Structure 1
Amino acid sequence: MTSRLIVQRTLTRIGDRTHLGPDEQVDDKALAFVPTDPALTDPFLGLVEDWFSKPGFEWHPHRGLETVTLVVDGVLEHGDNLGHTGALESGEVQWMTAGRGIIHRELAYRDEHAHVLQLWLNLPAAKKMTPSRYQDLKGHPRVHAPGVVIDVHAGTVDGVTGAADTYQSVQGVVATLEPLASYDLAVPAEHRLFAHVLRGTALVGGRMLHEGQVGWSDPIAAAGESSVRLAAPDGDLPSKVMVYSGTPLHEPVALGGPFVMNSKPEIAQAYRDFHAGAFGRVPRLARVAYDR
């Protein structure tokens, strides 16, 4: 019987969170990473952390990407011009496929408080004009191990499959580890991986990450499978880590405000389409009446 070769991943680079402070939309903002060089983070484009009460993010368009919004604290209210409305609590995720064009808003319920992380995930060129959709991910499927709980958002981990329906190969989890606990997270060898520490400190792929830092592991060329070890140091509180991975697209990236396409002419067309009304009308939706 031949044993499977499992390559242990290491982190090749680590980035610090950049604190920007308040602006006209949010009470505070930080950048975990941005698409300075999209090839280095492909298929991921950016990860932004926002704290807001009022006004938040009123009606605005998107095309050509997916946004994955994790509620860290508070309640996030959302609505779009497809008729979707709702509210998400701490730990829940909104997976929005902008596709060919959507207009939506993201607000703090009752203008009270929302603390969110939003990941921009690129869409393949063949899927950039796919129909728009929303997926609200609540009550995540979980993997349990000694001292470890893994909330699975996307992909399959230890036989547990996340609820997100994705257009490409993506795995997404949030791992909570008690002090001194560890877990070997299986990751497809062809995936690029990032780990972002939400709380505490964690040893990821042999490197110590502190709260707010992001570590990266590029695809593994060797045949077989790969895994990354997550471990929490000794202490009084658990560590929490967001670990997402995906297959790089290796396609050109053109960025233009809320639009992500493959060329500048496509960005210009997105603006023309939006101003011509091709994304639909800006809705007149009332604020969400929410009481879970």
Structure 2
Amino acid sequence: MTATTARTLDRIEDARRLGPDSQVDDKALAFAPNDPALTDPFLIMAEDWFSEPGFEWHPHRGLETVTLVIDGVLEHGDNLGHAGALEPGEVQWMTAGKGIVHRELAYRNEHAHTLQLWLNLPKAKKLTDSRYQDLTLAKMRRFEAPGVSIDVHAGTVAGVTGTAQTHQPVQGLLAAIDPQSSFDLAVPGEHRLFAHVVAGRALVGGREVAAGQTGWSDPVAGVDETVLHLAVPDGDAPARIMVYSGTPLREPVAFGGPFVMNSRTEIAQAFQDFQSGAFGPVPRTARLAYDR
């Protein structure tokens, strides 16, 4: 018989506001890689507000980036030949793998507001082929119930399977829950989970989490299935909650700017490979003429 255990939050983390820099109008870190073992397999999640210049051509290796558009329009392109634009609620799932060069800009330099999650790749797949996936609203898999609407990005939620192809066990979603409504989310016991409140306030595993905060629930040993109770207390506005979970990799983590590998030697090799052109040329494509 499969045991089912209610998930609770082990800790709640406040976002750290960093302010403007040379690329963005404003930036915050929902969580930082201070101790990768505490967030494994997730590395970092940044919230960015930008108009121009945004993030011009830059490389990545050894990780996946999952970018959720909160507001505005995100223009993107890469040296695999992909180019397009994403609107609010849509997701860009990019596997850097062995090496990719891409850019992320605000369409027409107007405005983009995004959350970008860095998802680690296991050692055996650090140098997998690069790929790009757009999760558009037109093709988004969605679960709906009274007072609840859930966009399923990856994994299976209440019988609905997201379209993102993943290299490891990951479940990801964005839930919109009305006041006095709730949803019980099934999560494998071996997964580490985070719930980031994008807007409003929510009760996550029985604890209140406000907009900008992230609640964490560590793997539950010896249990196959767990349930995370998501609810919104009485109020005027619904809550939007980004919930991702995955099996920890439990491998060494080495950071080097846009690269995430398992050792400093591999980081040095990544820089050498990029500088020698092994990632491919930096594209010379014009800005996007977008009209969906």
The TM-score bracket by the shorter chain reads over 0.9
Structure 2 match to 1:254: 254
Distance in 1 (CA, whole Å) between partners of 2:52 and 2:144 is 38
| Cα distance in 2 for residues equivalent to 1:101 and 1:224 | 35
**In structure 1, C-alpha distance between the alignment counterparts of 2:32 and 2:20, rounded to whole Å:** 18
Which has the higher mean CA deviation after the structures are superposed, 33-42 or 4-13? 4-13
Q: How does 1:148-163 map to 2 (within 5 A)?
A: 148-163=148-163
CA apart distance, 1:239: 0.5
Match of 1:187 in 2: 187
What is the deviation of 1:144? 1.1
Residue range with higher mean Cα deviation, 60-69 or 131-140: 131-140
Q: Structure 2: which 5+ residue stretches go unaligned? A: none
Percent sequence identity over aligned pairs: 72
Partner SS for 2:243: strand
Structure 2 contact 190–223 (Cα < 8 Å) conserved: no
Instruction: Map residues 1-292 of structure 1 onto 2, 5 A cutoff.
Output: 4-139=2-137, 140-292=140-292
Name the amino acid aligned to 2:173: V
- The residue matched to 2:168 in structure 1 has which SS? coil
Q: CA deviation at 1:64?
A: 0.2
SS of residue in 1 equivalent to 2:272 = helix
Q: Please, what TM-score do these two structures have when normalized by structure 2? A: 0.98
1:138-158: per-residue Cα shift (whole Å, max 9, x none)?
A: 121111122101110000011
State the alpha-carbon separation in 2 of the partners of residues 22 and 35 from structure 1.
20
C-alpha separation in 1, matches of 2:142 and 2:223: 28
Q: CA deviation at 1:223?
A: 2.7
3-state DSSP of counterpart to 1:269: helix
Counterpart-to-counterpart distance in 1, 2:90 and 2:103: 17
Report the count of equivalent residues: 290
Q: 1:83-136: per-residue Cα shift (whole Å, max 9, x none)?
A: 110000000000000000000000000000000000000000000000111000
Secondary structure of the equivalent of 1:290?
A: coil
**In angstroms, what is the RMSD of aligned CA positions?**
0.7
- Structure 1 residue 291: Cα displacement: 1.2
Q: Distance in 2 between matches of 1:236 and 1:39?
A: 38
SS in 2 for 1:24: coil
Distance 1:26 1:77 in 2: 14
Quick check: 2:195–2:244 contact (8 Å CA) kept in 1? yes
**Where in structure 1 are there 5+ consecutive unaligned residues?**
none
Cα distance between partner residues in 1 of 2:116 and 2:144: 26
Cα separation, 2, equivalents of 1:146 and 1:5? 27
Q: Which amino acid aligns with 2:12?
A: I
Contact 2:153 2:164 in 1 (8 A): yes
Classify the secondary structure of the residue corresponding to 1:99: coil
- CA–CA distance in 2 between the matches of 1:150 and 1:189? 21
Q: 1:273 Cα shift?
A: 0.4
Q: Could you list the per-position Cα deviations for residues 222-256 of structure 1 after superposition, in whole angstroms to 9, with x for gaps in the alignment?
A: 33310100000111111110000000000000000
TM-score (norm 1): 0.98
